A and B are shown apart, each in its own frame.
Chain A
Amino acid sequence: MTHTVTPQTESPEATAPHQLEARGISAGYGKTPVIEDLSLRIEKGRITALVGPNACGKSTLLKSIARLLPLAAGSVLLEGADIHRLPTREVARRLGVLPQSPVAPESITVGDLVWRGRHPHRQFGRRRDEHEDVIIAEALKATGTAELVDRPVDQLSGGQRQRVWIALALAQDTPTLLLDEPTTYLDVAHQIEVMDLLADLNEQTGKTIVLVSHDLNQAALYASTIVALRDGRIIRQGPPEEVLDERTVADVFGLKCVVVPHPYTARPQIFPLGRRHHPQENRP
């Protein structure tokens, strides 16, 4: 079952080519495809969250549209052009990717690491110029890591480290940023810190952000579009208020829950119901 989905919110630039578009893509590891004949449009200037249970294909989808995985079928369009026909450096100037739990080379400093984000913009033999340092400085400032420039990355805390990786992706200076579970392995305060940062970037620079999230509540709080996947298929997609209800959570995760609006933002928040948490069964 395939969803060819039309945008469900009114987009001011509905006629412009979508930032990213997957058309009937199939991809996976080895011979068995994880996602099959899947189509998706990512809107410009928004935060899109891919959610779903483990092994539902959300990371595979992200990697496919980031051309980190070869496609078995279909095509991915970046601003209307086939991503696999574009030179890989050209893609890297338009599309930044932050893979899940990246590793820093031993004892590299924050400054040196972030500097590597400039790779797609550099030509062999050219020295770095003033402009590049400004971009790096901006990336460091935006992520609040300017004070850490001279520190080795392996001495940072998890939250600091994740901000440094995002700074690297920012130094790449791309209009679109894809992130694979940017908050895994972080404690909850750092998770919120990273999500706040992404929201700030989206708001201040109009960056298009696509992220894989394992946390429905965070996705609902920060994303403007939720894409819910199960078994390699898109089950529902749209704004959190429309998509996140008891039925979707049951369909996608097989989990009973109560959905309650967030007290300040009115975004839907999930309260899972285990076997012991039904109101009638809980009564003495």
Chain B
Amino acid sequence: MTALDTRSPRPDSPTTPAVVAHLRSGRRVRDRRAAVTAAVLVVALLGLTAASVLLGGIGRLDPADVLPAALGMRDGLADYMIFQLRMPRALSALLSGALFGLAGSLYQRLIRNPLATPDIVGISAGAGAGAATALLYAPAAFTLGVPVAAVIGSFVLVAAVQALSWRGGIDTYRLVLVGIGLSAVCTAYTNYLFTVANQQTIAIAMRWTVGSTSAADWDGVTTLAVGFGACALAALFIGRPLATLTLGDEFASGLGTRVTASRVGVLLLGAAAAALATSVVGPIGFVSLVSGPIAVRLVGTERSTLLAPGIGAVIVLGADVLAQHAPLVSPVPTGVLTALLGAPYFVWLILRRRQGAS
């Protein structure tokens, strides 16, 4: 017989129905909290979009004309500025932010490390290199060529990073280091392309080195919208296998997840999302890094991937409005502001982990 007698008694053990009721109420609370957070995000996005469109940035518009023009009641300049400049800009900031947020959250959960986002592990740089190549050497295929090339570039980088950091297993920090290295090569290549090509303008260079929404147009918005729709749908399908992968490959396998297929799926999905965003607005940094952890903090790990795109959208759109209107510094490329806000957070992130561990 085993020593059953010595086991510590559990006098206050609750009954099963009580535990079930507790589980339910806890879930309801968290569902409600997620819903409220999502609602707040939607309101914030609406407000920021309105601010971006109404305040504008490029050129001046008679304030009296703004609202009527936005409602389609003006022609000419006002109509042009609202619909051809400001709306695409606001929408591409919003959608690219959502894509960056989604990509970051997927990677952070899969690799189980808040540092391992597409921009840190070099995926965004690969996408930028692909996009820049297409932009300079195949401008004819502009509308579709650039996003496709960006996605291809990011997939190549995924494969390279995975292959190079594989050593009988993937260590997160090795992955991050290899990513940093490959990212340096891709950035060097992109820089090289733009220093060689004579058609470099400051707008283009800005867009491809720090990321900027100033060159947005409706083609870009379409790309982003279709891309976000497809990626979000795929993320819904892959959500559950991903939830088991976060427990480790062996656990996931034990729970009946096809580990390799799911892993590759998540990696490619995240890369595609980051690449599509990069192909339109360039490598806006630190958004994918920040969105996921903020979402986790707000609604917990389980629901974070659903919320992360919203957070990303708020960040990029907010940074974009700020980049156009902040006193002293504006106008600056959006990516400059996200880096200035995101990098200190990054530092805090690597510092904080020590305190959590010790």
Contacts and interface: CB of A to CB of B under 8 A. Distances in A.
B59 interface: no
B129 to A, nearest CB: 32
A146 B13 contact: yes
In which size bucket is the chain A interface?
A: 35 or more
B13 A119 contact: no
Given A144-B10, A193-B8, A124 B240 contact: yes
Contacts, number: 139
B70 interface: no
A98 B243 CA distance: 16
Contacts of A154: 356
Nearest to A180: B250
A29 B168 contact: yes
Contact of A149 (B4, B17, B26, B250): B26
A172 interface: yes
Given A99-B248, A221-B3, 8 more contacts: A96-B254, A103-B247, A116-B255, A119-B257, A133-B23, A137-B16, A137-B17, A138-B16
Interface in A135-181: 136-138, 140-141, 144, 146-147, 149-150, 154, 168, 172
A188 interface: no
Q: Which of A66, A96, A137, A141 has the most CB of B within 10 A?
A: A137
Given A104-B247, A116-B255, A137 B2 contact: no
Nearest to B14: A146
Given A105-B301, A116-B247, A149-B19, A88 B256 contact: yes
A3 interface: no
Nearest to B240: A119
**Main SS class of interface, A:** helix
A216 to B, nearest CB: 16
Contacts of A187: none
Interface string B233-277: 000010010011011101101111110000000000000000000
A253 interface: no
**Main SS class of interface, B:** helix
In which size bucket is the chain B interface?
A: 35 or more
A74 B215 CA distance: 61
A113 B246 CA distance: 10
Contact of B23 (A107, A117, A137): A137
Q: Which of A95, A107, A154 has the most CB of B within 10 A?
A: A107
Contact of B14 (A103, A106, A141, A172): A141
